[in-house]
Structure 1
Amino acid sequence: MEGVMAGWTTVVQADILSVALERPDLVIVDCRFSLIDPNLGEQSWRRSHIPGAAYAHLERDLSDMSRKGEGRHPWPDAETFCAKLTRWGIAPSSQVVAYDDADGAYAARLWFLLRTLGHEKVAVLDGGWTRWTSLGLPVSSLPREPASQRYVASFDASRLLDADAVEAHLAAGGMLVDARAAARFRGEEEPLDKVAGHVPGAVNRPYANNMADGRFKSPMQLADEYRALLAGRDPSEVVAMCGSGVTACHNLLAMERAGLRGAKLFTGSWSGWLADQRRPVATGA
């Protein structure tokens, strides 16, 4: 059992989590969300969730929607976010597991929020709610009763870049990796933001490429793919982006699963880049 009880820091398999549900330091967070219907995830959680799971809403809990000019899902401030962690019963020593019912991107947002607070023991449930339920593992509709222990921490600001910092990063020869689908990157379609295209100098790595059959590719396969993409660069030279700073976290998680730690996030991402209409836009591959 000791092997099961060790810290999970990237992804955890459903069968392994299922035998650790009584683990005293475990806090599970349900991150199901729909951009089309922002209330759907929480409604689904109220009906049924992994036993003991708290609920994190992308826009209410994992973003600060009051911030203007910082993209569609602005990064929250640390004090407010830590208050949410306290409410969910998460302590600095907690083993956190996040899941959603998509492909792990919303859960990965929580993963990277915690990672940039310096929280190591946080993982995403591989295959999420879909795999959990397909295996017939236990579910509950009961609310969680969290223990109260105040969480106090600050974000590692060196891993969080705004648009101006990204411009400087690119000017210095740094790498910017866009996690959006290829058609959005090329500017052929744009369902969410006001202008189609990408940041000049960015390269495309759709976050869906991290998955195979609904689960993360193996660490070895991800390492091969990301090393080819990085072409000799150190992971710390990489900044991840997407449409609003959410699915980019999936690439950051995949890189860490591959043993490539230290990449950064463009928090506002494409929607934050577009906040200043003077910034250049590129289209095509």
Structure 2
Amino acid sequence: MAARRSPLALLVASLAVLAAVASADSWLYEKFNTDGTVRADYDASGQQVAMLNLDRSSGAGFNSKEQYLYGEFSIQMKLIPGNSAGTVSCFYLTSGDSDDHDEIDMEFMGNSTGQPVVLNTNVWASGDGKKEHQFDLWFDPAADYHTYTIIWNPTNIIFKVDGNVIRCFKRYADLPYPSSRPMALHATLWDGSYWATEKGKVPIDWSGAPFVVSYRSYSADACVSGGACPAGSDRWMNKQPDAAEWGTIKWAESNYMRYNYCEDGWRFTQGLPAECSRS
């Protein structure tokens, strides 16, 4: 008959297993600096979860210790339940705050209970932004985690939601494109009342604070600034949407697009940006 293990031995063994799992997935403090109220925990599967808090006093965020020049960046997010109007939750790359900075944005603009959360995608190149495509999310982003991905390579920038390509921003040789400035990865939660919901008409209802956004399963398969690219980087370095992925882009545009800068003649009174007339 096999010897029975004592409850204490079983507890020690269980804690050792949990510690090993947690250690294998401890991405937050290993890869990022934090700002504001950021808490870390582990879910039942052993995945580390980073939780950003927003209240009247401050927002929160984390930013990568490394800078990158091209890569595939992915994270799972669970957004604010209920009335999230006025809040902005972000997953983005930026080269800094200078007037000529580069940036690639996925910004989630909260909304009143029952209304869709809007995903704002944008690209800045040499300080030139105003290239937004906005989509109503076709699911409840607070009910569970969903995966958001940015692929950035010398040819194009691809935005994905749960593996579905929803936008491709192409590079043209004669137009600005993020290609020379290394960028850090950021996640933030902040008060965007002046802008986010119905162009600032609906502010944050602070009676619901603190607001919390959870992040998990972060991955960066990317070229580190000043270093070599990882093995297998051709998978995303040469990535362009295939026919099926252009199909999901058309599906997202036809069914869920709320705003397309290339259709905003009121904003661009001197003419639409040059890329808007190209295929």
- Which category describes the TM-score, using the shorter chain as reference length? under 0.3
Question: How high is the TM-score relative to the length of structure 1?
Answer: 0.24
> Greater share of strand residues, 1 or 2?
2
Larger Rg: 2
> Greater share of helix residues, 1 or 2?
1
Question: How high is the TM-score relative to the length of structure 2?
Answer: 0.24
